[in-house]
A and B are shown apart, each in its own frame.
Chain A
Amino acid sequence: MINIIKRFINKVLKNIFKKKSHVKLGLYGPPNAGKTTMANRICKDWLGEEMGTVSNVAHETREITIKEQINIKNNGKEITFSLVDTPGIATKIDYEEFMKAGMKEDTAKKRAKEATKGVIDAIKWLDDMDAVIVVLDATADPYTQVNITIIGNLAAREIPVMIVANKIDLKKANIKKIEAAFPQYPVVGVSAKYGKHIDDFYEALFSLVG
């Protein structure tokens, strides 16, 4: 009940300040979907610099990182937003998986501890977002509970959502499967790493928050 009242007040306040100059745009998704690669692509395109480090080992991003005042222009339209890159949301974190990737036990345990805190922070930040890009790995099964929980929570909070099907440069990529799993949301297939179809993404972003 308290949550419903809190959300109602937030919504009313949001409407009052609807004409604010920029929005808080979150990047959410499971680990290793390419959220930071996507954040880097956006920042490189519009600010000329990267936002964070990427790695093949899961949970590379373990803290919320924010890039303020990103201004993008498309067909005479313009939007300014703060980009919030979040740690990947997971239901399990096993330090032994990091050891398999070549880390020493102490380092692996430290990484696991930081990763759990990162997931908690990412969930806490859900309420602060104005719009969210859910980044999914187009080569992976989209019907995971983490994906469903993230998107379900955004819907429950009435936060506008766009899905980015990332890694379309890979042979196994299947955008149609993601579209079938989440038919009520716009899905844009991109390769954040190589910039493939990134213009389609910016166009969709204007529709989402413009």
Chain B
Amino acid sequence: MLTLEVIPYQEIEHLSSVGRIRKLLNSAKEDKIVLLQGRLKKEEEAELIRATMEEINDEFKGIELAVIDPGNENVAGLQKFTKVIYDKILGDRTGLTVIGPASIIKQVKKDPKKIQLLMQEGNNKKRVKKKR
């Protein structure tokens, strides 16, 4: 059975970087797909990859990860200024992080507007779409 875990930002708000990474990685190791409100910092993304590599063995093959960052869009002028203020107030609350075990998610297809999760054949080749 496929488990989708939705984590609101408040759940990770007071956690340290290590705590956030452990929480996400532990869920992936329990074969859950996590939808996290908000996003990790760039350094935390790299740390998550590093921590994942340490955990890989015959059973756990790693993760698939996608982060939608509203900051990726090319904004300019007043729009950019508004976004800077918005980010200062909301911090990492904006955006969306999707993480799941590589044994379940075959591939994450991402473009600036949507994320597509392609599931492994054994999981009936399901396709979950998330549009921003």
A-side residues, CB < 8 A to B, are 3, 89-95, 109, 112, 116-117, 119-120, 123-124, 126, 141, 143-146, 148-149, 152-153, 155-156, 183
Q: How far apart sit A93 and B42, CA to CA, in the bound complex (Å)?
A: 21
Q: How far apart sit A119 and B46, CA to CA, in the bound complex (Å)?
A: 10
A148 with B67: CB separation less than 8 A: yes
With A91-B65, A93-B61, A94-B62: A123-B49 Cβ-Cβ less than 8 Å = yes
Task: For the complex formed, measure the closest distance between the CB of B76 and the CB atoms of chain A, giving whole angstroms.
Answer: 12
Write out the residue numbers on chain B whose beta carbons fall within 8 Å of the beta carbon of A94.
61-62, 102
Most chain B CB neighbours (cut-off 10 Å) among A123, A143, A144, A145:
A145
For window 74-121 of B, CB contacts with A under 8 Å fall at: 74, 102, 108-112
Q: Is the interface of B mostly helix, strand, loop or mixed?
A: mixed
Give 11 pairs: A residue, B residue, CB < 8 Å, sorted on A.
Answer: A90-B62, A91-B63, A92-B56, A93-B61, A94-B102, A123-B46, A123-B49, A123-B50, A149-B42, A155-B42, A156-B41
Write out the residue numbers on chain A whose beta carbons fall within 8 Å of the beta carbon of B58.
95, 109
The answer to whether the Cβ of B45 comes within 8 Å of any Cβ in the partner chain is yes
Write out the residue numbers on chain B whose beta carbons fall within 8 Å of the beta carbon of A92.
52, 56, 61-64, 102
**Residue from B46, B62, B74, B108 within 8 A of A93 (CB atoms):** B62
With A93-B62, A155-B42, A183-B74: A149-B49 Cβ-Cβ less than 8 Å = yes
Q: How far apart sit A116 and B58, CA to CA, in the bound complex (Å)?
A: 12
Q: How far apart sit A143 and B65, CA to CA, in the bound complex (Å)?
A: 12
B67 with A120: CB separation less than 8 A: no
Q: How far apart sit A141 and B58, CA to CA, in the bound complex (Å)?
A: 28
A153 with B45: CB separation less than 8 A: yes
A91-B62, A91-B65 known, 10 other contacts, Cβ within 8 Å: A3-B43, A90-B62, A91-B64, A92-B61, A116-B54, A119-B50, A143-B111, A146-B49, A149-B46, A156-B43
B50 with A120: CB separation less than 8 A: yes
Chain B residue, CB-CB nearest to A155: B42
B67 with A156: CB separation less than 8 A: no
Write out the residue numbers on chain A whose beta carbons fall within 8 Å of the beta carbon of B53.
93, 116-117, 119-120
A91 with B52: CB separation less than 8 A: yes
B74 with A145: CB separation less than 8 A: no
Write out the residue numbers on chain B whose beta carbons fall within 8 Å of the beta carbon of A148.
67
Task: For the complex formed, measure the closest distance between the CB of B83 and the CB atoms of chain A, giving whole angstroms.
Answer: 15
Most chain A CB neighbours (cut-off 10 Å) among B47, B67, B110:
B110
B42 with A152: CB separation less than 8 A: yes
The answer to whether the Cβ of B66 comes within 8 Å of any Cβ in the partner chain is yes
